Amino acid sequence: MFTGIISAVGVVESAEGGENLRHLRIAASYPAESIALGASIACNGICLTVTAHGAKNTGGWFEVDLGAETLGRTTARQWQHGTRLNLERALRLGDELSGHMVAGHADGIAEIIAVADFEGMRRIAFKAPHDLARFIAEKGSVALDGTSLTVNSVEGDRFSVLLIPYTLKVTAWGSVVVGTKVNLEVDLLARYAARLAEAAPTP
C-alpha cells in the first residue's frame, strides 16, 4: 500500500525484453542498503517487486520485471533508457498518511489534453477512459503516475488538477506535455462506494 507522496525520481538505466516480459534497471537516490529483495516500490504508480539491487554513486539502483498484464494496462511499455519515474516506497505501519490510500494497481491510462503554467504552478487537464470517469469527482483524490492529487474540476470524461511548485520540483511532472499518457488509479473509496451501490437490492 502507498500514499501517493513521491519520495524520489528514478531514471531507467536499461530496459530489455519483449511483448510479454520486460526487465528494467532503475537508478534512484535510495541508499542501496535500504532496498531489500522482494520489496515493493511504486514506479509511476505501478507496484513493482525488487529483484536485484546495488550501489551507485551516492544512491543505488534496483531491478524489476514487468509482465504482460502490466505492460498491457499501463504506460510501462513506453519506458526506455532515460525515462524519469516517480518513485514511492511501500507504506510502513506508523508512517504518516499524507496523501490518500493508493494500491499501486493502475486502473487505466489517462492522456494530457492541456497544460497551463502560471505563477510557478501548473494546471493540467486529462481525458480519462470512459469506464473510469464515473469514479472521478471534483475535490476527490486521484493517483496519476503515482502522485496523489486533488481533482479541481470534472466535465464528462475530462478532469483537471493543479500542481504546486514543490510538487513540480520533486517529481517528474515538470517535463510533461500535451499528449503524454499517465497511469491512472481512481480512489479506492470511490470504487467501493460505486460497487456497493451497484450491488444494493432494488427497493
| 172-195 tens-digit pLDDT | 999 999 999 999 999 877 766 666
Confidence bin at 59 (pLDDT 50/70/90): confident
Does residue 146 have a pLDDT over 70?
yes
Which whole-number Å values give the CA distances from 80 to 16, 26, 84, 94, 178, in the listed order?
Answer: 9, 10, 9, 35, 20
Q: Which of 79-83, 90-94, 103-107, 111-115 has the lowest mean pLDDT?
A: 90-94
Please give the pLDDT value at position 195: 64
pLDDT above 70: percentage of residues in the chain: 91
Largest CA distance in the chain: 64
Q: Which domains does the chain have, with CATH numbers?
A: 8-89 (2.40.30.20), 108-197 (2.40.30.20)
Q: What is the mean pLDDT of the chain?
A: 91
User: Which of 177, 185, 172 has its CA nearest to residue 26?
Assistant: 172
Q: What predicted TM-score, i.e. pTM, was given to this entire model?
A: 0.91
Cα–Cα dist 122/162, whole Å: 6
Question: All 3 cell numbers of residue 164?
Answer: 504546486
- Taking residues 9-33, what's their average pLDDT? 94
